[in-house]
Structure 1
Amino acid sequence: MAVAVTSPFAQELRGWRTRRRLSQLDLAIAAETSQRYLSFLEQGRSHPGRTMVVRLAEVLGLSLRERNALLLTAGYAPLFPESSLDAPELGAVRHALETILRGHLPYPAVVTRPFGVLVAANPAFELLTEGCAPELLTGTVNVLRLALHPDGLARRVVNLPEWGRHITDSLRNRSNHSPDPALDALIAELDGYLPPVEPGPGHLGFAVPLRLRSEGGELRLITTLTSFATATDITLSELHLEAFLPADQATSDLLRARFGA
């Protein structure tokens, strides 16, 4: 007979372990504890110490925000701070990001927060905003919405079905790893903008280049995504730098002619 889960921590722990597809034994070994103790935690029969909560969160690969949330369910104060991006303590980070953005010219690069919220961009980013509806570029700009909305970049994307699905599939994988209703709502919205796709022999799936119409001809771009893996501040840990690179010499020549360098 199953024992009812009685505490928020017990429910969260079992939920995260299930999402990560770990057995109790696997998680117990990785967290350097016993399966029996882990079973008691998931049943609400034992209460973990703060160190054990932190250790379990790390083994489960939780984000800093998720680790704070797990600590709260166990009755402990959050461990990781969440600073404003314009806070003095993140001044060096802002300078580093500005340097990287400038250094990536003549190619576009952007810094975003979770779910595609734009934080900063270099001048070459205007390549991706040309012809987009003004309402997509005012207030809080979401680069994912900007990319796939019919009144945004999408109208210039030659391979929209494949490239768009590459974006939404990546978001869906993120949602499976760290569920969030807001992310699910965004995925549903973006999916609604995309035409159906039938992958053929030329469909790469994991590395779909962006084929973009421009006045100078078709541009072919690939992207790299960078994050601050060792960050201990939530704001910093959730920033992503997305850098666009030319996929062929013609694209490189066009961008160099336009944005210099």
Structure 2
Amino acid sequence: MAITASGSAASAVPADRSGVGPLLRAWRERRRLSQLELALRADSSARHLSFIETGRSRPSEEMVLRLAEHLDVPVRERNALLLAAGYAPRYPQTPLDDPALDALRDGMRRLIGGYEPYPALIVDGSYTVVAANRGVTMLLEGVPESLLAPAPNAMRLTLHPQGLAPRIRNLREWRGHLLAQMERQLALHRSDALRALYEEVAAYPVPDRDAGAEDEPAGPVAYFALPLRIEHAGRVLSFVSSIATFNTPMDVTVAELAVETLLPADPATAKYLHSLAG
């Protein structure tokens, strides 16, 4: 159904600067869309969208969700938009250990288990490790128990000076990549826990230059993505990272789960991992 400024799906309310309007405007500006562009995508009008953003009209629940969809708003923040508009949250947040998610948990564990001998892990929205396969366990050999229990955090494990950081040969590059990833996430999620984690790991000491700068492979190396170059048992292994999330999630917990896999970036790394598995 098309929703316009004169349609019954929105009711006039006193103009103010609070509520859902400013939030929607912030998301639209973040996506670099004009009011007209967003209105056309949402089958509405620029005038109606202007009324919503300035608080002159209260959008229907359907309109809030439609705009959120076209703005690619994360599921958790869609609930925030609904609350700001005076509606109940639409998306539940099911605890990961809830029996309702048994099949999902089992499927994800099978997924990362089938990826062995290559490392793979599952993290939540705060980078807490939900599950990891034996490839990850191999990389974490020697990491202090204090970083591994009770709920290890992937960012802390990677960048902490007692974690994997001393073994990463291109730490400055990889650290920059991870911090940029967290900054992009913080731009989309209002999370005090994630902000505190970012500030913590960003404050960890970093060397003036990468330890592996002098031992780069001889000759040109055709890396197709930034590699993680990490030392294990006297060898330098190279990986490229891939992150997968669920398509069209309907639950906040599920929406924030991510599967990260580390693919060997060169034949030597692949051969070594298969030799360990053998």
Structure-2-length-normalised TM-score: 0.84
C-alpha contact 1:14 1:42 (8 A) present in aligned 2: yes
C-alpha contact 1:162 1:197 (8 A) present in aligned 2: no
Pair member with larger Rg? 2
Cα deviations across residues 88-139 of structure 1 (Å, max 9, x unaligned)?
2222211211111110111111000013111001122112212222211112
Tell me whether 1:62 sits opposite 2:68 in the alignment: no
| 2:263 corresponds to | 245
Q: How does 1:155-174 map to 2 (within 5 A)?
A: 155-174=166-185
Structure 1 or 2: larger helix share?
A: 1
Q: What is the percent sequence identity of the aligned residues?
A: 43
| 2:152 corresponds to | 141
Gaps in structure 2 of 5+ consecutive residues: 1-13, 214-219
C-alpha contact 1:64 1:232 (8 A) present in aligned 2: yes
Separation in 1, partners of 2:198, 2:208: 15
| 1:153 corresponds to | 164
- In structure 2, the CA distance between the partners of 1:204 and 1:21, relative to structure 1 (3 Å rule), is farther
Amino acid in structure 1 at the alignment position of 2:244? T
C-alpha contact 2:74 2:188 (8 A) present in aligned 1: no
| 2:17 corresponds to | 6
Pick from 96, 108, 117: which aligns with 2:107? 96
Cα deviations across residues 200-222 of structure 1 (Å, max 9, x unaligned)?
9x999992211111115111111
Tell me whether 1:226 sits opposite 2:241 in the alignment: no
Separation in 1, partners of 2:152, 2:192: 20
Deviation at 1:235, TM superposition (A): 1.2
Gaps in structure 1 of 5+ consecutive residues: none
Deviation at 1:243, TM superposition (A): 0.8
- Provide the secondary structure at the position in 2 that maps to 1:218: strand
- In structure 2, the CA distance between the partners of 1:203 and 1:253, relative to structure 1 (3 Å rule), is closer
Separation in 1, partners of 2:51, 2:224: 41
Amino acid in structure 1 at the alignment position of 2:126? F
C-alpha contact 1:124 1:259 (8 A) present in aligned 2: no
The number of residues matched between the two structures is: 256
Across the aligned residues of Structure 1 and Structure 2, the Cα RMSD in angstroms comes to 2.4
- Provide the secondary structure at the position in 1 that maps to 2:49: helix
Separation in 1, partners of 2:37, 2:240: 38
Structure-1-length-normalised TM-score: 0.90
- In structure 2, the CA distance between the partners of 1:204 and 1:30, relative to structure 1 (3 Å rule), is farther
Separation in 2, partners of 1:162, 1:205: 14
- In structure 2, the CA distance between the partners of 1:205 and 1:170, relative to structure 1 (3 Å rule), is farther
Cα deviations across residues 34-73 of structure 1 (Å, max 9, x unaligned)?
1111111111111111100110111111111111110011
